[in-house]
Structure 1
Amino acid sequence: MHVCVLGAGIVGLATAYSLRRAGHEVTVVDRASPGSGASGGNGAQLSYSYVQPLADPGIWRQLPKLLLSPSSPFKLRPRLDMRQWLWGTQFLAACNGTTSRNTTAQLLALAASSRQSFEAMMNQEKLDCDFSASGKLVLYSDGASFAAACRQMLLQRELGSTQEAVNADRCVEIEPALKSRHAQIAGAIHTPGECAADCQKTCDALLAVLRRQGVRFLLDTPVRQLVLRGKSVVAVATPQGLVEADQYVMALGVDSPRMARALGVHLPVYPLKGYSITVEVDEQARTAPAVSVTDSARKVVFARIGSRLRVAGMAELSGYDTTIAPAQIASLKASAQTLFPKCSAFADLSPWAGMRPATPTGLPVIGRRPGAPTNLLFNTGHGALGFTLAFGSAQRISGLLSH
């Protein structure tokens, strides 16, 4: 079977890899280069066991501060866009205990499958992507937040996650680079098996692997439209001509809803803009973390990728604005200098911004949709967990096509 995958981010590339392994002929089409959208500069954490959805009951308590504080990691920039308001309303409706628990269970199952598939791929293809499995600490600065995190930990533990609640002393034992912040740590959740990797390196390596395996790539080639005949897609129209296939997979991230609307299909996906910086660390001083760290108060994540530290965070509900805001980059730098003051000279920040394709609940859209063409599947809406869930999502798409 010939399958055309639309999108060459980590989700699209993982899908192409899974389909090629299943014996299908595969063509990948993307308007840019692999990983150039929301994948390349992401947080680098592979959160297989700690998948608390953004739509959480605790949002209601935090909402005034999140919306009104100048230093808030969440920014709402209202636009004359009904899709933004619809997404926001659906997000708030999902901020309840039942939805959060159900979402957590489904994300953990998908993440477990993704981990198995990703690590099998790495071993098979001998991928160099600065992979590490040094665990993760999620830090809390006040007792109430830590207590809520402990409740979430117990839920995730019931669903198979291996985690423990630790005090400040134990935090510093696990990650000595946190010593200077000891007094500000009320507690943390430690997940010893969590991983990190450079997503851009993964995308670049997968491109080379897939080309060797015979996958055809049309890069720097925008998708103009899907050509229909009856209830089926018969071709993808591009500047390079028509691309014909038997089945199609839409993994276009934040561009997926626009393309789906042209087919009369609604996707509950909207951009959540995130930022990152990447700095070289002073390895001899050993003042940079080896363990992945999440500062829950600032909503900032830190991940070691080789000799560099990736610092990522923020969530802006601001439409499709892709500009890099200097204030957000400065905030990430300040967070890194506060938590790990001597880890780097912070000379070159490599600032980045990406548009995460998020659904209100946090569950990605995987598979067929009502009213969509019969030979079109969707693989989008992974939010901040695209890297984590990519290979599990790819396996699901491959399974649906096999059946």
Structure 2
Amino acid sequence: MNRDIIVIGAGIMGLTAAYELHKSGKKVTVIDEGNITDCTSFGNAGLLSAFDKGPLSNPGVVLDTLKLMFKGESPVILHPTLDKKIISWLWKFINSANPQRLKRTIALFEKYGQITIDKYKKMQEEDGLDFDFQHKGMLSLFTNQETYNKKIKQYSYEDETRFKILTKSEIKDYVPCSNEKAKGAILFKKNAHLDPKKVITQLKEYLENNGVEFILNEKITDIQFSEDKIEYVKSATKTYEANTYIMSTGYQTLLADKLNKELIMTPAKGYSITFNMPKEYEPLTSTLFADLFIIMSPRKDDVRLTSKLEIGSTNPAVVKKQIDSIKENFKKYTIPFEMSNEKLWAGFRPLTPNDMPLIGRDEKYKNLIYGMGLGWLGMTFGPSLAMILNDLIINDLENKDCDDILLFSGFYQGKY
């Protein structure tokens, strides 16, 4: 079969890239080691939170995390390790958390986050896709007075299109299950949320129905390359050829390692609990318990809690201790209610040390494109990054000719 593009990996980055390239008239094949029913994108909170929400590597993050650890409320779990790659990542993460980088990152988040929101709307309108997209803002609920006071200082002006500071009674209206321990809340109106499972399943169905080839349950284990290009990729039993290859393998770096390409990212394990609860207690919109890093996302048929950032773990299983920890911390700030029909999930997110995705053309192998390192912001940036990669491929650009790559790719961020 004559293929223009092979996309390796069918998470949000891989599928949106396939979508854009198909729209541009390319013959696209998507290869994934699973069957696209439980990938990392499925466990996402579904937040589109590019506005008024800082990156992970923000000033004060280390001290704030230590404070939460002493209270037993920290979402971060750091397993003792001598792995040099993880130690290097942590050092770069700490050094990335500075005011200068924060200002730049927030500007980039807003630029590409808005492109993504517009794209999701367009995909639904033009292609009839149903993502359960809700543009109702994101509520940040604070359980610590000090952090609330610090945040409120940043919003000492009026902008009704951007945010609203809620009164105590309004907090209860937005999050009926919250209790009196809530110190304050701000509704950030430009953010949105959707159902990540619907995004993945709807995109896959649309692409299949429109001629995109899917090869599932097929793990690509090797790359054959010549002096300056990829010749083919192979699994245990087959080889696959195309003109261009997109590597969108999440946290897995096996293929990049074979090319001696060091990708500065680490797998961070996260958890989600999807459940039913009394309708009268459901939040009106996606709610971030900001001091706990617990996200509560209302959906059409259920509610999801997502939390935890587990560094240094290689265990893919759902660990009951971590689920219990999420519930325990969450219940400190909510009234009692029953969580029924619970579905538990755990998966690894590919985190870069400065929250910048790893996108762009390989410097040596010109027909290899990277689309990785989206971390916890896959849904927030997947479509906008896919548009960048599409532009790079369709117009046969070098990285240096693409302003978006130079702006937003972790390959061009200079010193951490």
Q: TM-score, normalised by structure 1?
A: 0.91
The letter of the residue matching 2:357 is P
Question: 1:374: Cα distance to partner?
Answer: 1.0
How many Å separate the matches in 2 of 1:191 and 1:222?
41
Partner of 2:359: 366
Deviation at 1:217, TM superposition (A): 0.7
Question: How far has the Cα of 1:268 moved from its partner?
Answer: 1.0
Contact in 1 for aligned 2:68/2:74 (Cα 8 Å): yes
1:336 positional shift: 4.5
Indicate how the Cα distance of structure 1 residues 144 and 161 shifts in structure 2: closer, same or farther if over 3 A, else same: farther
Provide the residue aligned with 1:378 in structure 2.
370
Corresponding residue for 1:94?
A: 96
Q: Which residue of 2 aligns with 1:112?
A: 114
Give the number of aligned pairs. 392
Question: Which of 148, 151, 158 is residue 149 of structure 1 equivalent to?
Answer: 151
Of 315-324 and 351-360, the range deviating more from structure 2: 315-324
Q: What's the RMSD between the two structures over aligned residues?
A: 2.3
Q: Distance in 2 between matches of 1:176 and 1:229?
A: 57
* 2:293 equivalent in structure 1: 299
Which residue is 2:259 aligned to? Answer: 263
1:325 equivalent in alignment to 2:319 = yes
Unaligned 5+ runs, structure 1:
none
Distance 1:19 1:62 in 2: 42
Q: CA deviation at 1:196?
A: 1.8
Q: How has the CA–CA distance of structure 1 residues 26 and 151 changed in structure 2, closer, same or farther, with 3 Å as cutoff?
A: farther
Compute the displacement of 1:134 (Å).
2.4
The aligned residue for residue 269 of structure 2 is: 273
1:356 corresponds, among 349, 352, 369, to 349
Using a 3 Å threshold, how does the CA distance of structure 1 residues 154 and 319 change in structure 2: closer, same or farther? Answer: farther
Q: How far apart are the structure 1 equivalents of 2:346 and 2:153? A: 32
1:220 aligned residue: 217
Amino acid at match of 1:332: I
Partner in structure 2 of residue 54 of structure 1: 56
The one-letter code sitting in structure 2 at the alignment partner of 1:367 is: G
Contact 2:51 2:109 (C-alpha < 8 Å) held by counterparts: no
Matches within 5 A, 1:2-17: 2-17=4-19
> In 2, are the aligned partners of 1:149 and 1:189 still within 8 Å (CA)?
no
Q: What residue is the counterpart of 1:137 in the other structure? A: 139
CA distance in 2, matches of 1:12, 1:236: 16
| 2:411 alignment partner in structure 1 | none
Consecutive unaligned residues in structure 2, runs of 5 or more: 396-416
Alignment of 1:134-213 (within 5 A): 134-150=136-152, 162-173=162-173, 175=174, 177-178=176-177, 180-181=178-179, 183-213=180-210
Instruction: Please say if residues 39 and 386 of structure 1, whose CA atoms lie closer than 8 Å, have aligned partners that are also in contact.
Output: yes
Which digits, 9 at most, give the CA deviation of each residue in 1:352-396, with x for residues without a partner?
Answer: 0110111001111111244x4111111111111111111011111
In structure 2, the CA distance between the partners of 1:94 and 1:153, relative to structure 1 (3 Å rule), is farther
Shift of the 154–352 alpha-carbon distance from structure 1 to 2, 3 Å rule, reads farther
Aligned equivalents of 1:164 and 1:321: distance in 2?
Answer: 41
Q: Sort the Cα spacing of 1:72 and 1:15 in 2 relative to 1 into closer, same or farther, 3 A.
A: same
Query: 1:289 is matched with which residue?
Result: 283
CA distance in 2, matches of 1:65, 1:29: 44
C-alpha spacing 1:305/1:335, structure 2 compared with 1 (3 Å)? farther
Task: Report the 3-state secondary structure (helix = DSSP H, G, I; strand = E; otherwise coil) of the residue aligned with 1:184.
Answer: coil
Report the residue type matching 2:270 in the other structure: G
* TM-score after normalising by structure 2: 0.88
Query: Where in structure 2 are the equivalents of 1:22-41 lying within 5 Å?
Result: 22-34=24-36, 36-41=38-43
